[in-house]
Amino acid sequence: MPKKLLLLTTLILSNSLSSDTTRLKNGKVYHNVEVFHKGDTVTVSFECGKRIVFKQSEISETIPKPLTRWKTQEECNQTEEEAKQAAEKRKEEKRLQEEQRRQELALKKQECEANGNVWNGKDCRLHYAADYGKWSEYQGAMDWYRAKNLCKILDMRLPTRKELLVVRKAGIWKKWQEENNNRSSNYWTSEESSRQYAYYVSMGNGISLDEKKVFSTYCVVRCIHR
């Protein structure tokens, strides 16, 4: 190569090429790199084309300086291995974070459903039956046929067993007992076990049994909005 062309090439390289020295908090030092900051991540690029992405918190300092030499192939290979290790570390951290989140969501779901509410996959929603305002006043003791007809007149309906169990878990039934002077806690449901029998729920223990529909003194009534 002619001396003038060699001199020109040297001048261009010396003016355009630069590198940083990056020191990690774990003591690792990278020379002859370019450092790019974006958000909470730092990308360290090497002249051999390799890159390693770190968290901002992992970087101790970055010292800008002129480029002294290109990396050898051995150094590039070492950098590639370190990049793989860093990627695997980030992958494992992400896996652990996701596992922790799954465990937290599972616990929230368990607590939500234990209180009779509805879990939608992300958060807990109040079951509509746990809303005190959805229920009628105490209607007294009566047979199942009369109870069903009464709720229809009120433009309401008899509750299901599940809805009454939601009320029990939410503790609303205790307020009901105060309102009806601690009369029977056996509430008719809309569910039938046969032509002559229908289910009721004993709010005191949460047990559901069936009883003859014509019995008028054993079960009491609360209607729920449609």
End-to-end CA distance of the chain: 92
Structure tokens at 218: 């054993």
Give me the amino acid identity at 118.
Answer: V
Q: Is-above-0.85 flag for pTM?
A: no
Q: What does the domain layout of the chain look like in residue ranges?
A: 16-111, 130-225
- Quote the pLDDT of residue 202: 94
Other residues' Cβ atoms within 10 Å of the Cβ of residue 71: 19
- Quote the pLDDT of residue 144: 97
What fold is seen in the domain 130-225? Mannose-Binding Protein A; Chain A (3.10.100)
- Quote the pLDDT of residue 80: 73
- Quote the pLDDT of residue 193: 95
- Quote the pLDDT of residue 67: 59
For 7, residues 6+ apart whose C-beta sits below 8 A from its C-beta are: none
Question: From first to last of its 226 residues, what are the pLDDT tens digits of the chain?
Answer: 454 443 333 333 333 445 788 888 888 888 778 888 888 888 888 766 778 888 888 888 888 776 556 566 676 677 777 778 888 888 898 899 999 989 988 888 888 777 667 787 878 877 788 888 899 999 999 999 999 999 999 999 999 999 999 888 888 888 888 887 877 889 999 999 999 999 999 998 999 999 999 987 889 999 999 8
CATH 2.40.160 given to domain 16-111: no
- Quote the pLDDT of residue 201: 95
CA distances from 209 to 75, 187, 198, 202 (A): 77, 10, 8, 8
- Quote the pLDDT of residue 196: 95
Whether the CB-CB separation of 208 and 186 falls below 8 Å is answered with no
